[in-house]
Each structure stands twice: as C-alpha cells, then as structure tokens.
Amino acid sequence: SATARVGGTLTSTMDAMLADIQLKSSKSLEIFHNQCPNFSHLMDNDRFDLAFFRLRTELKHFEHELAWILRQCFSRATTLSSKLTLLNVFYGAYQREVVQRALIHEQQWIIDNLKQEFQLVAQLVNSSNMNYLHWPPLSRQLLYLYGLKQRIDLFMNQIY
C-alpha cells in the first residue's frame, strides 16, 4: 500500500525491504504479461502453465518475505494501539493466508489485550457509581458513558 511505502514499517530498513518486494512483484507481473500478452496464449498450455507457475512461485516467495517483515514490525510494536495501527497500514497484505499464519500469535495477543481493555472498562463502569455523587444520577451516567465511548472508540476505530 502507499501508506506502507512512506514509512509504515517503523524502520527505514524494513521500508526499503518492503519497497524491494513491491518492485520485484511488479516486475514479475510484468514478465508474466509479456510472456502471455493475450488470451490466445491460453491455448498454448505449456507456455501459459510455465509462465503462471513461475509467477505464482515468485509471488508466494514474496509473501513469505512480507510475512517475515511484518513479524519483525509486530515484534517492535509493544502497545495495542501500535499493533492495531500496523494492522491498519498492512490491511491488504494481512488478508494473505501466508501472512495470517505468520502472525497468528500477534493476532491472539491483540484479541487478548482487547478483551483485557474491555474488562478494564467494565470495572470502570462498576466503580463509577462512587464518583460525582453531587451530580444527578442521569448526568453521572451520561458523563461516564461519553468517556466510555471515547475510550472504546480509540481502539475500535483502529480496527476498522
């Protein structure tokens, strides 16, 4: 993605590696299109099969490289917010099965931390009854719900 190209990986070395993967995958697609410029080459099964197999093999190799880069990025991101930002930046890449398998532990970490955050919010809701006793009950609840919504939106906006 364009966002990833301008520094989404957190380090310039990873950005350069990502740009290299993008360049190599574009070049592989270009070579494939040059070898099979139109549908008439579909009749020449050997030519098409060989070109397609080469393209698919190269793209899988690039996916594995991308998965390695993303694993490194996620290991450097220490907060829930930073990991959600990485998911947002690399949304399209994360849809690839190879990348999802490589990041399964990170995905579980994110889910566990989101659950923990929501449990903390639930504790805050239960403890809020003691605060602002001088306010009418409806005002206390509205104020608290507003703050609660802001806190949850902070993470949920990064997911979507």
- List pLDDT tens digits, range 126-155: 676 566 678 787 887 787 788 778 877 877
| pLDDT at residue 5 is higher than 70 | no
DSSP secondary structure string for all residues of 1-39: -HHHHTTTTSSHHHHHHHHHHHHHHHHHHHHHHHHS-SG
Does this model's pTM top 0.85? My answer is no
What's the pLDDT tens digit per position in 23-41?
998 999 999 888 877 766 5
